[in-house]
Structure 1
Amino acid sequence: MTPVDVVLIGRNEGARLVAALNSVMGQARQVVYVDSGSTDASVAEAERRGATVVQLDMAIPFTAARARNAGFDALEDPQIVQFIDGDCALVPGFIATARAHLETNPHLAMVTGWRREIHPNASVYNQLCDWEWRRPAGQIDACGGDMMVRAEAWRSVGGMDPAVIAAEDDEFCTRLRKAGWLLERIPQEMTRHDANMLRFGQWWRRAERTGHGFAQVGHLHPDYFVKERQRVLVYGAAIPLAMLVGVFVAWWVPLLIAALYAVNYIRTAKGLIHEGLPKDQAWLHALLLTLSKLPNLIGMARYHWRSLTGRAMRIIEYK
């Protein structure tokens, strides 16, 4: 049986990190916790539970990709590695099932499962996160940061790109696929996540980060996030600009153009209902998804501004 090691990353996660550490103890050969400048008791809690602790040099801009690379590098002879974010708790049984799947499918580089929110009803923003995690099982193009990776595959593409501040997991998965590996989501719960996103401002910042990821990963891989970038440019830039210009044509022109948002909103809500989301949640989620194109655009613009001016790609935090 191939041994599984665990890499946890976090910063000031408090009780969430304690739950994450407790969930992996006894299930892995090695546990490495990578800390990114915590000011709480995170490091002490990890050490108390016997984890190897790596503290990043915060003089260098932090990214989740950089933390995961450091965690992998701290492992001794890794073969299969389960990556988990510090605000997640591993669901019992996932490691055994995912390991068996990797062992019997040598063409697979990575296996992931379903992530669920611990408190989905605490806010509409948590609900939205919970729905985002509900993706179909089977072969996939990419997944989030919670994943079980074959060490051979990780090394073959050089790990994650530490310069990518958002959607670094998508970028990593894209390089795996281009190298000929397959990725799969199995129909089993993997982790319980605590987004703790309770305010509109947090959601807005998260949407900005998403837009930054669209632009940066899209720059590295022009064939990826194509539709996402197009939607942001249409609904976040082109339509508002057309409305502004329309003011100088006739008073009713901006209203006519604004109707495109209503059409998109209704289409999005109906699509969510068709996918199984309750109607009351679907209409509210659709509103946020329609509005998200504006912060997405800000995030995309921020990436291009940073790129043009040579500024550091610093993370966009929402909590």
Structure 2
Amino acid sequence: MPPLTDPRPELRGETQGAQVGVVMIGRNEGERLRRCIASTSGTAARVYVDSGSTDDSVAWARSQGVAVVELAVPPKFTAARARNAGLERLLQDHPGLVYVQMVDGDCELAPGWLDAARDALERDPGLALVFGRRRERFPERSIYNAFCDDEWNVPVGEAAAGGGDVMVRVDALTAINGYDPEMIAGEDPDMSVRLRKTGWRLYRIDHAMTIHDAAILRFGQWWRRTERAGHAFGELADRHPGLREPDWRRQCRSIVLWGGILPVLVMVMVLFAIVFGPVWLLPALAFAAVWPLQALRIAAKRRATLPPRQALLTGAFLMIGKLAEMIGLARFQIGRLTGRRSDLIEYNSGPARG
């Protein structure tokens, strides 16, 4: 990973009333980017990094007085590369920057978030990164949007990893060379874990942070997003094999069991039934029955926090998603063995995020 240049003098400890910068990233975000930029209008240090938009994103950002970085190809577009480029531009324009808020272009910052996040970092010098509650703008539009809204509702307190929307200390981020620009997914938890490995702590504070517009309205979009998650789990487990929180190796074992081994066993039993007789359908049905039973088990646990229908669908789609995750995991492993990096796995018109 190339070093991330920080041209500033040492600023650790000089944080009272420190300047906060904002890095926005996106591609073809349309109205979502307009809302994102509008929500940062009170911030002087802000930059938008564009990954090859064909709409008016770049022109609109510039018309709002936002510094713009247009990424060229090659190398490939990644969210990590965009965030690094945005931070470097901010540090060139605002060398006194102490904190930076990363935000995806399909998100809108909540009122008061920047002050709340900065205050939390200033109160605790051991924190490198804080994040708050990310909410979905239209959870009622599809069950997939509702899944996203629930996924982001993580507990308040010490955290093992953050997502795409976080406020982080600039000196901590530059010390670990920022995000890994080669990662097509999972760059946010990877960055978080590398911060933790150098002694920093992460925290989710009890404050609204961003409103996200996933716009996942079709099964295919959800499938691709879930496939990308499987790729991310595989790469994170490979990069941090000894880590137990989060335990990505355990996650990968779960994917292989539910999305790989059990489906193969069912298909083998069905093949045996065709060749050797219907008696083999009994073990095939027994193996196949494990999926709905596991889905019901998950749903029963989620009934405490979710409406009955959403809890049931959560269990069902988590199990269906194991198949998509298996494809993503296999894609990563094949790329690792062949030495070929995977391309972005996109689920909508914007960059692969979520």
Q: Which AA in structure 2 matches 1:86?
A: G
Residue 142 of structure 1 and its aligned partner are, at CA, apart by: 0.6
2:267 maps to 1:244: yes
| Alignment correspondent of 2:5 | none
The 5 Å alignment of 1:90-239 reads: 90-222=109-241, 223=243, 224-239=247-262
CA contact (8 A) 2:331 2:342 kept: no
* Aligned equivalents of 1:83, 1:262: Cα separation in 2: 39
* Aligned equivalents of 2:60, 2:46: Cα separation in 1: 13
CA contact (8 A) 2:32 2:106 kept: yes
* Aligned equivalents of 2:344, 2:207: Cα separation in 1: 31
The 5 Å alignment of 1:36-55 reads: 36-55=51-70
2:22 maps to 1:6: yes
Q: Percent identity at matched positions?
A: 46
* Aligned equivalents of 1:114, 1:187: Cα separation in 2: 7
The 5 Å alignment of 1:235-274 reads: 235-247=258-270, 248=272, 250-274=280-304
Residue 155 of structure 1 and its aligned partner are, at CA, apart by: 1.2
CA contact (8 A) 2:292 2:316 kept: no
Larger Rg: 2
TM-score, normalised to structure 1, is 0.97
2:39 maps to 1:23: yes
| Alignment correspondent of 2:306 | 277
Structure 1 residue ranges (4+ consecutive) displaced by more than 6 angstroms after TM superposition: none
- For structure 2, which runs of at least 5 residues remain unmatched after alignment? 1-16, 273-278, 349-354
* Aligned equivalents of 2:58, 2:236: Cα separation in 1: 32
Residue 180 of structure 1 and its aligned partner are, at CA, apart by: 0.6
CA contact (8 A) 1:273 1:282 kept: yes
Q: Which AA in structure 2 matches 1:257?
A: F
| Matched positions, count | 317
Give the secondary-structure state (helix, strand or coil) at the position aligned to 2:68.
strand
Residue 216 of structure 1 and its aligned partner are, at CA, apart by: 1.1
Bigger CA drift: 73-82 or 32-41?
73-82
* Aligned equivalents of 1:210, 1:236: Cα separation in 2: 13
Let me know the Cα RMSD of the aligned residues. Answer: 1.1
CA contact (8 A) 1:61 1:312 kept: no
Residue 226 of structure 1 and its aligned partner are, at CA, apart by: 2.1
Bigger CA drift: 164-173 or 300-309?
300-309
C-alpha distance after superposition, 1:121-140 (max 9, x if no partner):
10010010111011111000
Q: Which AA in structure 1 matches 2:264?
A: L
Q: Which AA in structure 1 matches 2:167?
A: M
- For structure 1, which runs of at least 5 residues remain unmatched after alignment? none
